[in-house]
Amino acid sequence: MAQIIQQVSLEEVRFYSPIGFYEEEQILGNEFFVTVSVSFPFKNPDSEVLENTINYEEIYRILVEVMSPRRKLLESAAEDILNKLVETYSSVQKIDVRIRKSNPPFGGDLANSVVSLHYSKD
């Protein structure tokens, strides 16, 4: 039996956050871009009713909450985003979280570092 899967995403949401392994990064902050996609069964009797989908404004609030405090590693931010989405939306089947850091301080010329996590409900 075929099933329709809906996906809601926020792409390249920009944050200037106090995240970084080095103390100076936590003081000065870094530029990050977060992409989140959530997939869930499309069971929507009325596609004009917000309660019948996942509100991407709520996803954005989760991103702000997670990306605001000081922390050392992007991995912990990605994990917190993933866990909060799983806790908030029981119907979600798949989640992809990607955090890109612009110009990490390791001497590269305009490099980016990326951490991503993928969740799939079996």
Confidence band of 24 (pLDDT split at 50, 70, 90)? confident
37-47 average pLDDT score: 84
Distance CA 96, CA 16 (A): 21
- The pTM of the full predicted model, rounded to 2 decimals, is 0.89
Residue 109 has pLDDT above 70, yes or no: no
8-21 average pLDDT score: 94
Distance CA 17, CA 48 (A): 35
Phi–psi pair at 31, nearest 5 degrees: -95, 130
What is the average pLDDT value for the chain, to the nearest integer? 90
Q: What is the pLDDT of residue 93?
A: 95
5-13 average pLDDT score: 95
Percent residues over pLDDT 70 in the chain: 91
Q: What is the pLDDT of residue 110?
A: 67
Q: What is the pLDDT of residue 1?
A: 74
Closest CA to 37 of 93, 90, 112: 93
For residue range 50-100, what is the model confidence (pLDDT) as tens digits?
A: 677 889 999 999 999 999 999 999 999 999 999 999 999 998 999 999 999
Closest CA to 63 of 121, 17, 25: 17
* Cα separation values, 122 from 39, 60, 93, 94, 119, Å: 13, 26, 8, 9, 10
Q: What is the pLDDT of residue 107?
A: 65
User: Is the torsion defined by CA of 48, 51, 54, 58 positive or negative?
Assistant: positive
